[in-house]
Structures are given as structure tokens and as C-alpha cells.
Structure 1
Amino acid sequence: MPFDTSRAVWFVGPRQIELREAPVHRPEPYEITVRATRSLISAGTEMLVYRGDTNPGDRMPPNSEGQFPFPTKYGYQTVGEVVAAGEDSGFHVGEHVFTRHPHQDLFTIEARPEYVVRVPAGVDDSTATFLNLTRVALTGVLDVPVKVGETAVVFGQGIVGMMCARIAGLNAAATVVVDRFEKRRALALHYGARAAVEPQDVKDVVFELSHGRGADVVYEASGAPPALQSAIEIAADQGEIVAISLYGNHEVPLRLAPEFHFRRLRITSSQATDQARWNWVRRTEAAFGLLERLSVADMISSHVGFAAAAEAYELVDRDPANVLGAVLDYPA
């Protein structure tokens, strides 16, 4: 039986958001009930859902509801305070946790390590909302690491691309980022990128910085289908390309000759699933470690009250040149 009610964000049509009531049941021994404090809107996959650019049968993250394309309750990065805890959950009332749960002000969730994790004392709730996207970026770099002295290129400076560039830059001799928006390029330079260019300029800059070799590793995190073609064209001999983007139902046409075959390039798909030696728990710990080292305060463009969630999505959709991270704030 429900012991409370809540409100949750539902995608009900292209660019249409509703806040719907949802019952909240008391936690079972292995569950916790969380009152949300912050959640982050993903400008990548979540905006594909918002715009209706998904296919029936596409995989949903855990704890989502409904179906693609609509209606669906979709999301995966909500932070909050534990207000009730089952005796076998391993959590206590008052702890702050990151959850893989859609945007909802109160909810009960199974306390599995891949769904719920404690927020470290040194990480505030707004920063903690970046955990999942940081883990996605980290997974891309783990799939194809940048070796010391190599040239890395990152297409797209949304949150995933920006974190990917910052992580790759810990080893790379030069990191080049590619984005069509000036503010994102400027922020990437602030965070340590060697060069930040518009898409049409990337080839000349990469070959200049790499002394004609091309990029050793290219991460495609823009979600723009033409970027994968550009990645093939700028990669060095035996270079590696990591496709982090999810393209939804957009076609991705490629011209493979001559670069792809003659340069013996490799394209790796990256998805935040378990790898050898890097299971979900370990990547979560590493991602929180990165968030403690790499401030994301400048990546938060706006805070919007949960009640105005529809306005937040419209803002992200309408003004990507000025909006990077949009955080929903929940009432105390």
C-alpha cells in the first residue's frame, strides 16, 4: 500500500512534459525511500527522448517506466536524502545518495549498488548529479585509453564530452576539442584543452599539433552524425575512434575509403557497462574521485525549480549555445 504520493516528470509527446502523481510505497527490507534534492537533465540521450528521436523497443535505464517513444518516465541522475530505509538496505535515514532514477520528488528504490550509492562528504548534491555522465566519459577513456604523449580529440563539449576531454587530458600531450558553440569552447580551454575549434577547422589544427600524424585517439561525444566521418578523416595511422554518442533514430552515413582501410583504423563502441577489472562499483568510485578533483561548478548553467521542469527542458532544447548543465532543484 502507498504511504505517500509524489510527482514525477513524464515525457508525453514531442517536446511535451507533464508532472504526474505517483504513489510511493514503504521500503521493503532491501529498499530505501529518497526525497530528491537535485537532479540533472542530460542534454544527450534525455533530449533524444524529449524530442521524440527514439525507436520503439530501445533500451531504457533501470527504474524508468512507460515505453518509447511516449509516454515514458525517463532519467538516471537524481540525488537526494534517505528518509526511510529497510533493515537490510545498508543505508540510514539522513544519508545523501546518488540514484539512477528519473526526475521525481519522492520515490522508493531497491538499494542495489548499480542503482544507489552514497555521496562522499566532499561532494555537494549539485556536483553529485554529474556522477552518471562522468562515469560515461570515464568508460570511454577506459575503453580506449590515451597514452602519455599522444594527441586526443574530443568531438562535442556537452557534459560527457567535456568530462571526457578533461580525463583524457590527464595523460595526453595535446587535447583538441571540437564544438560549434563558443562558450563551450572557451570553457574547455579554461579546463586545459590545448585547442578548441569549430568542426570545419579541426583537421588543420590536429595535423599541425600532431606534426602531421593525426589524432592517436578520437572520442565522438557530440551526437552529431557527421562527427564520426570527421573522426575517420583526422585519425592517425592505426588510430582509434571511440563512439560514445547515442544517435537515436538518426542515420549515420559514412564514407570509409580511403582513410578507414589504408590507415587501419579501429572504431570502438562505448557503453557504461561492466568491463574486465572495472565493474560498476569501481567505476562509480573512480567517477566520484574525479568529481572531487575536477570542479564542475562552471558546467552548471542554470538551476530551475522542479515545478518548472517543462521550462528547464525547453531551455536546454532552445538555447544549447548558452546552456550546458541544467539542474532541477527540489523544495525542502
Structure 2
Amino acid sequence: MPHIVQFSAPKLVELVECEQQTLAPGTVRIRTWYSGISAGTELTAYRGSNPYLSKSWDVAQRLFTEGAPAFSYPVAGWGYSEVGEVIEVADDVDDLAPGDVVYGIWGHRSEAVLPAPAVSGRQIPEGTEPLHGIFARVGAIALNAVLGANLHLGEDLAVFGQGVIGLLATRLADLSGTRVIAVDGFEARRELAVRMGAHDVVAADTPGGAGRQIRLLTDYQGVDTAIELSGNYRALHEAVRSVGTDGRVIAAGFYQGGGEHLLLGEEFHHNRVQIIASQIGGTPAHLGARWTPARLVTVFMDQLAAGRVDVAPLISDVLDASDVAEAFRRLDEGAPQTLQTVLRFEGAPA
């Protein structure tokens, strides 16, 4: 029987059996090799803080409303960073074949049946380590934030939060010709940010606040733009403090609860700061229809295949899928050495 990761209750996650899906016309069956865990979105399901668990998302109004929650425990099938081998194709599928190794989104499950277009053209590039394909989605999220910042050659950018997506954003911004100042509370992550292209690093708990330290580094002018990826309201406030007058802050973290530490009557108000949301469901409006979420993935994977982005240092834990409880426990503890955690399913290369 196939297996799937299930959040059975807050702080309780397990690998359970599930029904095998039927191969229908136009579909392919994929045996999962690797599945990356999102330390942001998925921890909210693990901890029970995700808004979908307490409210209903009204698609027509695009509002969260009170009433029956959109999801309730047990919740199965989360995950959006998968790599696997095509093992069966429907008779009418001619652009994929058994043996193809593809990346995509099908959740933490040992196998999946997907419409062929969902993974068509998403074969792992030749010469690329298959495990690295799990970064396609998180790389797209980082790229979306960087594009939202509307960077220009010679500008200064602060990136708050040097987790996996923050480190990728640091690298992509450096490739864009921007001077990056990386902010994080852990020294090990600040050191890794330098390897990813940061020109300066700032401790999140620096006296007077990271925003003030960034102003010192920029002769009190502030950075042109800041990207906040930690999902921490205090960090978002410091990002606001770090930008110059009429500066932009790209809020790309998944913020939970109320913003007690986001003080909008201070620098936000007096420096006329813009706070712009970045979310992978759409691309920055100023780019128009030319950019789509699918293009974000393609562009990021092209950078990875060309060797301009090295994701190997970001992989901290590769655990068997049966050890999923331990994987989430480590992520929940938030140790500085824990970055990208990957579940390895049976049949993956040794």
C-alpha cells in the first residue's frame, strides 16, 4: 500500500497507509524519491496555527470568514517540493516515459498519479543531482520576492531571515547586482549568507535593532528595499526601520496571529514606507502577464542547472519518510543548523 504523511493533531504527524490512485487517461504515476518540508507553511499545520484550521477561506470574496474551518485534523497530503520517478504512463501520454525523473508538487506521499502536464517539461536537468530538484518551489518563492523588490544594479537590499528561502533570496539578489545585507539571529546562518553572496551581515538582536545597524552601514540613508522572510513581526518592523524614505518592504513571510511588534505609527508612518505582500500564488503586478508562477520555477531551475545557485549547503537533514515525526520535531525546535529537511521514500537512490 502507498503511504502519505498525515497531521493527526497538533504536534502529531505520522506516515499512514492510503489508497492507491487509479491511472486515468492523460495521467502518469510517479514513485516519490524525495520530498522537502517547508519550515514555514507546514510548521503552521504541525503547530495548529494555520488560519485554514480555524477559519474558512471564501474563494469568491477572497476573505477568511468565521464558521467551519477549511481544514480539520487529520490533514493529509501537504507538501510542495517533490522529486520522483515516472513508473507508469497512460496510453495517450507521449511526452513522458517510465524512468523519467521529475520535480513538482504532489505532497508527502510515496506515490502519486498526476495529470501529465503537471510534470511535463520538468525533468531533472542533465547533470543535476536529483535531490536538488526539491528546491524548485522554494526557489520560486525566493525569486518571486526578489522580483517584487524591483531591484536595480547598484542598489542596497536587506534580507531579513536567512532560512532556506532567505538564503536563496540573498543569492538571487546578489546575482541581480544588488548589495545585500543579510539579517539573522544565528551566527551560522549569517556565515552561510556570506557564502551565498551577502556583502554584510547583521545580527537580528543587535543593540538598537537591526534596522538602526543597517542605517549605520548605509551612512544613515537606509537600504532601497528590504525583504522580510522570517514571518516574525519584530523582524518586519526592523525591515521597515531599515529602508530609506519612500522605501519598499517586501513582506514574504507567513505571519501568524496579531502584529504586536509591528509599530505602524513610527518609521512606517514618518518615512512613508510601502509594505508589499509577496505570495507564490501570483507574481508582482508591475511585471504584467509575462511572468507566471510556472516561469518562476523554470528560471530558478535554470540558475540551479547552470551552477549559479548552489543548494547543497542548504540541505541539513535527509531522513527516511518513516521518521517524519523526528523531522518535524527538529524543525519545530528551530536549531540554527537545521535548514532544509528532506523526507526520503523507499526506492530513492542510495
Aligned to 2:47: 51
Does the 8 Å CA contact 1:79/1:99 hold for their aligned counterparts? Answer: yes
Q: Which amino acid aligns with 2:203?
A: E
Q: Distance in 2 between matches of 1:209 and 1:114?
A: 45
Which residues of structure 2 form unaligned runs of 5+?
Answer: 58-68
8 Å CA contact retained: 1:304, 1:328: yes
Count, aligned residues: 321
Per the alignment, do residues 271 and 150 of structure 1 end up closer, same or farther by CA in structure 2, a change over 3 Å counting? same
Letter in 1 for 2:167: M
Superposition deviation, residue 9 in structure 1: 0.4
* Aligned counterpart, 2:228: 220
- Structure 2 match to 1:134: 139
Report the CA distance between 1:172 and its aligned residue: 4.4
> 1:62 is matched with which residue?
none
User: Matched residues in 1 for 2:292 and 2:102: separation?
Assistant: 19
Q: 1:285 aligned to 285, 298, 303, which one?
A: 298
Instruction: State whether structure 2 residue 252 is matched by structure 1 residue 244.
Output: yes
Query: Is the alpha carbon distance of 1:58 and 1:118 closer, same or farther for their aligned partners in structure 2, counting shifts above 3 Å?
Result: farther
What is the DSSP-based 3-state SS (H/G/I as helix, E as strand, rest coil) of the residue aligned with 1:112? helix
1:108 aligns with 2:107: no
Instruction: Determine the structure 2 residue equivalent to 1:68.
Output: 71
**CA-CA distance at 1:114 after TM superposition:** 7.7
Deviation at 1:280, TM superposition (A): 2.8
Correspondence for 1:184: 189
The residue aligned with 1:86 is 90
Whole-Å Cα distance in 2 between the matches of residues 116 and 311 of structure 1? 34
Give the distance between the partners of 1:115 and 1:303, measured in 2 at CA. 27
Secondary structure of 2:152 counterpart: coil
Deviation of the 1:86 alpha carbon: 1.9
The letter for the 2-side match of 1:10 is: Q
Q: Does 1:27 align with 2:23?
A: yes
Q: 1-side partners of 2:340 and 2:56: how far apart? A: 25
CA RMSD of aligned residues (A): 2.0
Cα offsets for 1:271-294 (capped at 9, x unmatched): 113432111332121010122221
Q: 1:13 aligns with which of 9, 12, 24?
A: 9
Aligned partner of 2:172 among 167, 183, 204: 167
Aligned counterpart in structure 2 of residue 209 of structure 1, from 217, 230, 237: 217
Cα shift at 1:71: 1.5
Identity between Structure 1 and Structure 2 (%): 30
Equivalent positions of 1:239-278 (< 5 A) are 239-248=247-256, 250-253=257-260, 254-275=262-283, 276=288, 277-278=290-291
Q: Residues 114 and 281 of structure 1 are in contact (CA less than 8 Å); yes or no, is this contact kept in structure 2?
A: no
**Structure 1 residues 82 and 114, CA, compared in 2 at 3 Å: closer, same or farther?**
closer
Residues 224-233 or 195-204, more deviating:
195-204
Q: Kindly provide the amino acid, as one letter, of the partner of residue 85 in structure 1.
A: V
Seen in structure 2, the aligned counterparts of structure 1 residues 212 and 297 have a Cα distance that, compared at 3 Å, is same
Q: What does residue 117 of structure 1 align with?
A: 122
Aligned-partner residue type, residue 303 of structure 2: L
Distance 2:56 2:327 in 1: 25
